[in-house]
Amino acid sequence: MKIIYVTGCLGFIGSYVTRKCLQKGWMVYGVDKCTYVANRALLEEFDKYDNFTFLEKDIKDLDHLYDCDYIINTAAESHVGNSIIDSEDFISSNIMGVRNLLDLVRNKPENCNRRPIMFHFSTDEVYGDIVEGEHTEEHLLHPSNPYSAAKAAADMLVLAWARTYNVEYIILRPTNNYGIGQYPEKLIPLSVKNMMRGLKIRLHNNGTPIRNWLHADDTAEAVMAIIDSGNVNEIYNVAGGFEQTNAETVRKIVSVHHDTDDWKRFVDFSYSRQGQDVRYALNDDKLRSLGWKPKKIFDEEIASIVKYYKTNFIW
């Protein structure tokens, strides 16, 4: 039996990871600060499992760590636009919070059990953009906005604590995730919400930026594959190999929502965002060598996702 901490367990990716761990019968200690993006309704689902315990706490204020095998850290401030307006929360959660978790791990006494493994969620954005080709795990980090800079700093902390204090770790760098349960500040749910309100979709930089899209369930499966492998002290990209322009993504959303090909009349093309990366692309061959591969197909999933957000209002 494994004992797992999942920080950010009520967030988008964290909830998918929590669900997978519970279904495996692992003991899960869920921690969440319960910010505006947290879905408290998930507690009704998770509390049905006898192997789930919840603590409402900011990771930077966590002062005790029970014996466990992994800390899966999905807790983070993640909206790039918010980081450009004010980076304070991003520094607090994404850097100071990670430092606190690392110190809790390194200060666990080893006389009884092996110290837990720090399984840290990073992002493809730490590499910066790339016009052609793909980033591998060996590439240097070139973050281009406060959010990705904070995440890159956290990655460096993990590697430094590993070198200095022998903290065992996994760093996972996922690409753009999508799926049901995402807060409507991200492109897909926000586009649906704007159309429900009769507002146009603000498509940055004429919709030309290119993003990889990976379903959150496939990301959670990547976590399971890495843990099952027993590997430690490794960095893994996870992308899935599907990319398209943001304009193409919005075209598909509008087509499903309004059953029309005249998608541009629902879009505002006038906005350009500071620090906009033109293209993210990851090579995830290293992860695939463990037997993982994506199962969800964007064009098959988008209709049900749009329908969900049309029928489930999220403040």
SS3 readout for the chain: CCEEEEECCCCHHHHHHHHHHHHCCCEEEEEECCCCCCCCCHHHHHCCCCCEEEEECCHHHCCCCCCCCEEEECCCCCCHHHHHHCCHHHHHHHHHHHHHHHHHHHCCCCCCCCCCEEEEECCHHHHCCCCCCCECCCCCCCCCCHHHHHHHHHHHHHHHHHHHHCCCEEEEEECEEECCCCCCCCHHHHHHHHHHCCCCEECHHHHCCEEEEEEHHHHHHHHHHHHHHCCCCEEEEECCCCEEEHHHHHHHHHHHHHCCCCHHHHEECCCCCCCCCCECCECCHHHHCCCCCCCCCHHHHHHHHHHHHHHCCCC
Task: Using alpha carbons, select from 60, 127, 134 the residue that is nearest to residue 98.
Answer: 60
**Phi, psi at 224, each rounded to 5°:** -60, -40
Residues annotated as catalytic (active site), given as ranges: 124-125, 147
**pLDDT value, residue 299:** 97
**pLDDT value, residue 277:** 78
**pLDDT value, residue 78:** 82
pLDDT digits over 36-65, tens only? 999 999 999 999 999 999 999 999 999 999
- Distance from C-alpha of 279 to C-alpha of 137, rounded to nearest angstrom: 17
Domains detected in the chain: 3-178+213-241+283-295 (3.40.50.720)
- Distance from C-alpha of 306 to C-alpha of 266, rounded to nearest angstrom: 15
Residues 6+ apart with CB under 8 A from 246: 187, 203, 204, 207, 208, 209, 210, 211
Give residue 155's pLDDT band: very low, low, confident or very high (50, 70, 90). Answer: very high
Q: CB-based burial of residue 98 (10 Å sphere; 0-12 exposed, 13-18 middle, 19+ buried)?
A: buried
- Distance from C-alpha of 201 to C-alpha of 195, rounded to nearest angstrom: 7
**pLDDT value, residue 24:** 97
pTM: 0.95
Lowest mean pLDDT among 70-74, 75-79, 179-183, 276-280: 276-280
Task: Using alpha carbons, select from 65, 60, 58 the residue that is nearest to residue 29.
Answer: 65
- Taking the chain, what is the end-to-end CA distance rounded to the nearest angstrom? 38
What is the pLDDT averaged over residues 213-221?
A: 98
**pLDDT value, residue 275:** 66
Give residue 271's pLDDT band: very low, low, confident or very high (50, 70, 90). Answer: confident
- Distance from C-alpha of 307 to C-alpha of 179, rounded to nearest angstrom: 12
